Amino acid sequence: MMYGFTRLGLLRAIQATVLLFLCACSSTGVLKPSESAAKPPPNPSPHNPSLHDSRAFAQALALFGTGISAQINGEYALALTNYLNAIVLDPTHEELYIRAAVVHLQLNEPDKAIALIQRLCELKPDSAQACIWYGLMCNAADLRKESYIAFRKAIQLDPLGPDAYKELAANYVRDDEAERAILILERGAQQSSDPGGLLHFLGQLYIHKSNLCRDPGMASEYRTTARQTLERARDITPDDDEILAQLGDLYIVDRQYEEAAVVLQRLTELQPDNIPLKKKLSLVYGALKQEDKAAEVLEEISRKIAFHPKAYYYLGELYEKMGEKEKAILNFRLATQIDPPDAAPFLHLALLNLETNPEEAIGYLHDGLLKLPDDPRLTEILAYLYMKQGDYAQAVRHFRKTEEALNNRGTEAVTPALLFNYALAAHHTRDYETTARLLQQSIHIEPAALNVYVQYALMQDDPASIWMAQKTLALLSGEMEDQRQTILIHLAILFGHQEEYLKASLLFEQIEQEARAENNEESLTDQFYFWYGSAEERQGHSERAVELLRECIERNPENYAAHNYLAYMWAEQGINLREAERLIRIALKGDPENGAYLDTHGWILYMSGRYQDAEKQLAAAIQVLPDDPDVNEHYGDVLSKLGRSDEARACWEKALQFNPESTRLQNLVNQTPLLSEETTVP
């Protein structure tokens, strides 16, 4: 089968195919007389030499032998001369034409190869094989239309032969018409007297379709069809190791472990020295809970490779998959004696101890580094472990060693994940220059890294972390001109979180002015105006905040946070309550279980004097946000209005736990006695 060859690759493939065919035609490698030479005519003419004449046959045989010798030695011109002279003596001998055509290909003369095989087709119009060779030669010259015609004619001449079906299907595959390839192979498998190879090809196409399919259900159907097709191929050629291997993998993917065990067992009999295959068989036995058979296979592996430590590694993997941690650790320890050393067993030992004994996990990785200094796999995992323990200085040290090792090797790229986590470790060591450098590299590969970094800094709930992020972004804004506006927006958001609202507003204003001056407003998104409006509102600039939040909603009508923010602003001021309710209803329609939105709705209803309706909304809000001080305070206020003083006091007390500085809450708790008399509901 030929998949997507370049022209040079196709020429080479055809040459190889032709040579294999020639070997199959003649086990001795010696020219055989053509069918026309089998019986000499009654009266051969001495003036028209042919292979009917024994001297002519001997001469053709000599030319043929000389041609083969010259071709093997790379003397293609000499080989071609001898083959062409032999063709003169026997003009209908297919093998001579094919030999000469191959030499033309070796001389990069596909047009002459085509002409020669075309001449053969004219001399032998009923030869399906001649048509197949003609199709192959046309493929070599990029004459795809002619090759399709040739292969189809070969099928008409010999519908029982498999070769033309294969080549026609291969053409369809090269032209990305897999469905048509499948149809022709299915037709060939039904008609051919030797369908084994066609079924194998067909099974591989279904595997390919399964691998490309994103729908899990359809992918499973393709695998099932592939499996059934390969099973038919196996019934024809039961010891074809490639078919057995593909069947075994399909059984494993679909967790048909019993069938996989049978196939892999037969395959190990055919390939007794295939260690990875036996490892796979042992894992299948493990999945079947047949640990004795799994261990038996691995013991056999150990015997075959003289107890090489690699066998212990396979055994460790088996026990790890079976959940037998102690046995896995024992075998991985033995596997660390591999010479030359390998990082894999040390990594497994570290991962097995990661949750229960991180110090021991770190020790195993250091043991690995004694044998494999600066191995990037070991240093990277070590960096993550130190980071998990909060030892950021050691994490930075090992991330640096990993980066240097990968750069020195030049064979593996430093991944965005490694760069980003290295940046986070540097962030914790207050090395904002290194953090900025690594973030810059990360952002070039994955722009979302900037937003994730800012979110990470905010999640630390540490003013020093936000200060560090501010320093990093300030440096980045001067280094990354193409990302400058986006970086400054995140910097302004950080100012807002630090309650430096004036700085935030000034920076937002600067960004907006620069964007409009440069006629580049891509960065002025709805989120930009949301945070800008928030900064203005926190400074008491209500009218400006309303303008900015309206701009946010206009740019994105589904920014429900902006709807909620504006509605809550008005509720707090007791103004525009009807418009505020309209906005919060839009937000709740988009996110009906958002506790903050439910609280805002309840507070709007409270400020409107609709206490019963407010109680329903705030009761729902407190179910979502039971520990939020604002929600508890609002609920207490509503319950108080409804005369449920004890419940109101309980809510205020809970709110006071989370906001002990609130004078209002202190007064409400102190002024509300327990077991108060019921009041009239307004």
Angle of helix 629-641 versus helix 611-624 axis, rounded to 10: 150
Q: How confident is the model at residue 306 (pLDDT cuts 50, 70, 90)?
A: low
For the residues 182-206, what does the mean pLDDT come to? 89
What pLDDT, on the 0 to 100 scale, is given for residue 156? Answer: 92
Ranges of each domain in the chain: 238-339, 590-671
Q: Are 40 and 49 in contact (CB under 8 A)?
A: no
Whether 651 has a pLDDT exceeding 50, the answer reads yes
**What confidence score (pLDDT) does residue 140 get?**
79
Q: How far is 512 from 495, CA to CA, in rounded Å?
A: 17
Looking at residue 673, its pLDDT comes to 66
Signed CA dihedral, 121, 125, 130, 135: sign only: positive
How many helices (H) and strands (E) the chain has is answered by: 36, 0
Residue with tokens 């026609």: 168
In which element (H, E) is residue 663 found? Answer: helix 663-671
pLDDT per residue over 497-517, tens digit each?
A: 888 999 999 999 999 998 888
pLDDT bracket for residue 620 (50, 70, 90): very high
**SS3 sequence of 242-287:** HHHHHHHHHHHHCCCHHHHHHHHHHHHHHCCCCHHHHHHHHHHHHH
**Confidence at residue 614, expressed as pLDDT on a 0 to 100 scale:** 95
pLDDT of residue 675: 47
pLDDT digits (tens, 9 = 90+) for 225-236: 999 999 999 999
> How far lies 614's CA from each of 150, 605, 680, in Å?
82, 5, 17
What single-letter DSSP state applies at residue 35?
G
- Assign 57 a pLDDT band (cuts: 50, 70, 90): low
Contact (Cβ atoms closer than 8 angstroms) between residue 83 and residue 102: no
Amino acid at 130: A
Instruction: Identify which of 641, 627, 640 has the alpha carbon closest to the alpha carbon of residue 673.
Output: 640
Contacts 24+ apart (CB under 8 A), 542-549: 542/569, 542/573, 545/569
Q: Could you say which architecture CATH assigns to the domain 238-339?
A: Alpha Horseshoe (1.25)
Q: Pick 355 or 93 by higher pLDDT.
A: 355
- Whether 10 shows a pLDDT value over 70: the answer reads no
Query: Cα dihedral sign for 557, 563, 566, 571?
Result: positive
Q: What is the dihedral of CA 456, 461, 466, 472, to 10 degrees?
A: -30
| Cβ atoms of residues 207 and 223 within 8 Å | yes
Sign of CA dihedral 156, 162, 164, 166: positive
Q: What is the mean pLDDT of residues 597-604?
A: 96
What is the pLDDT of the chain when averaged over all its residues?
A: 84
Q: For residue 575, give the 3-state DSSP assignment.
A: coil
Continuous segment of H or E residues that includes residue 423:
helix 416-428
CA distance 164 to 153: 9
pLDDT per residue over 330-347, tens digit each?
A: 888 988 887 788 999 999
Position 104 scores a pLDDT of 84
Secondary structure class of 390 (helix, strand, coil): coil
Higher pLDDT: 369 or 290? It is 369
The reply to whether domains 238-339 and 590-671 share a CATH topology is yes
Amino acid identity of 422? Y
What are the angstrom distances between the C-alpha of 269 and each of 244, 303, 336? 12, 16, 30
In terms of Cβ atoms closer than 10 Å to its own Cβ (0-12, 13-18, 19+), residue 371 is: middle
CA distance 384 to 395: 7
User: What gap in Å lies between CA 121 and CA 140, rounded to an integer?
Assistant: 17
pLDDT tens string 441-498 = 999 888 889 999 999 998 887 889 999 999 999 999 998 988 888 999 999 999 998 8
Find the helix or strand (DSSP H, E) in which 535 lies. Answer: helix 526-538
CB < 8 Å & 24+ apart, contacts of 542-546:
542/569, 542/573, 545/569
Average the pLDDT over 510-534 and give the result.
90
How far is residue 415 from each of residues 13, 234, 473, 513, measured CA to CA in Å?
37, 43, 22, 37
pLDDT band at 70 (very low <50, low <70, confident <90, very high): confident
Reply yes or no on whether the pLDDT at 79 is more than 70: yes
Concatenated DSSP letters of 159-170 = TT-SHHHHHHHH
Q: Out of 3.40.47.10, 1.25.40.10, 3.40.50.300, 1.10.10.10, select the CATH number for domain 590-671.
A: 1.25.40.10
Condensed to tens digits (0 to 9), the pLDDT of residues 539-596 reads 999 999 999 999 999 999 999 999 999 999 999 999 999 999 999 999 999 999 999 9
Element (H, E) at 567: helix 560-573
Closest CA to 25 of 124, 110, 130: 130
Reported pTM: 0.55
